[in-house]
Amino acid sequence: MIIHEPAVYRTERPVTWCPGCGDVRVLEALCQALSRSGVDPADTVLVTGSGCASLIGFFVNSYAIHGPYGRTLPIAMGVKLANPSLTVIAAGGDGDAYAAGAGHLIHLARKNPNVTWLIMDNGCYGLTKGQPSPTAGHGVAGAASDAPPSLNPVALLIAAGATFVAQGSSDDPELLIRLMQEAIRHRGLSVINILSPCAVFDRQPSARPHEAPEPVHIDPAHPTHDRMAALQLASHGDGKPRMGLFYREERAALDGGSAGRAEQDGYDDLISLERILNGIKP
């Protein structure tokens, strides 16, 4: 394993996020995690959708796909199935993941593709002037007084069947780096919900330090293999965000593994494509 310096994973393009945006620190944590994991940039694909958070694909030195809104995860799964040897990371915002992409979330969690998904959650649509997203809570600026309860992303991910579910914060880079390393190593769908406040539209309490509830680090003794215990932890009622690993399950991953490779043994890509086309001819 060749260890590259974090700078190797960073393009020369200057970031275009607003000053103070939490996504800047997420980018720095990702470059550190890739470095510590020994991931080769040439064997890495970063798939993003649309929105502020999806700009991260322009700043990481890897192959990248900037896809349509809400379609990040199925594109990432397709990349992994096409070439199981790649490290595939999907990245985007809470709107991309839990609004337009919610239908993909629940079904791909069941299928368990070997993909890491980084969701930068700020409770608003920052690119379109800060409308509340599904994770925006009661009483946030701009939210209607009769707004429905906010979606609980961690509980949703656990219930849907994701085999690695964690939560981190852009304000705690060392924990975030460790979670990213574990997520990249995990075989199956690994998801980190990352609290990454918007510095402009100020939707989440975490964007206002004097109002933000103190985060609670998950006890190392928490049974991460116990789905019900993880759901209970994710459904706490004290308003304090839990940080760390909620749930991990060892389950067969959908990644085009040995069976898919055996099918292509002895054929190059063009011959494989010819066989596929011949198979669907009338």
Q: What is the pLDDT of residue 212?
A: 63
Residue 102 to residue 108: CA distance in whole angstroms: 10
Q: Per residue in 97-106, pLDDT tens?
A: 999 899 999 9
pLDDT at 143 over 60: no
Q: What is the pLDDT of residue 260?
A: 41
Structure token digits, residue 152: 């609980």
As a whole number, mean pLDDT of residues 75-80 equals 94
Of the two residues 264 and 172, the one the predictor is more confident about is: 172
As a whole number, mean pLDDT of residues 260-271 equals 47
Phi, psi for 183 (deg, rounded to 5): -65, -40
The CA-atom distances, in angstroms, between 32 and each of 7, 8, 19, 161, 173 are: 9, 10, 21, 28, 10
Q: What is the pLDDT of residue 240?
A: 87
Please state the three-class secondary structure of the chain as a single string. Answer: CCCCCHHHHECCCCCCCCCCCHHHHHHHHHHHHHHHHCCCHHHEEEEECCCCHHHHHHCECCEEEECCCCCHHHHHHHHHHHCCCCEEEEEEEHHHHHHHCHHHHHHHHHHCECCEEEEEECCEEHHHCCEECCCCCCCCCCCCCCCCCCCCHHHHHHHHCCCEEEEEECCCHHHHHHHHHHHHHCCCCEEEEEECCCCCCCCCHHHCCCCCCCCEECCCCCCCCCHHHHHHHHCCCCCCCEEEEEEECCCCCECCCHHHHHHHCCCCHHHHHHHHHHHHCC
The whole-model pTM stands at 0.86
Q: Per residue in 15-57, pLDDT tens?
A: 999 999 999 999 999 999 999 999 999 999 999 988 899 999 9
Q: Which of 4-8, 32-36, 206-210, 254-258 has the highest mean pLDDT?
A: 32-36
pLDDT at 263 over 50: no
Of the two residues 9 and 149, the one the predictor is more confident about is: 9
Q: Per residue in 108-135, pLDDT tens?
A: 999 999 999 999 998 888 888 878 888 8
Average pLDDT, the chain: 86
As a whole number, mean pLDDT of residues 140-154 equals 68
CATH code of domain 6-254: 3.40.50.970
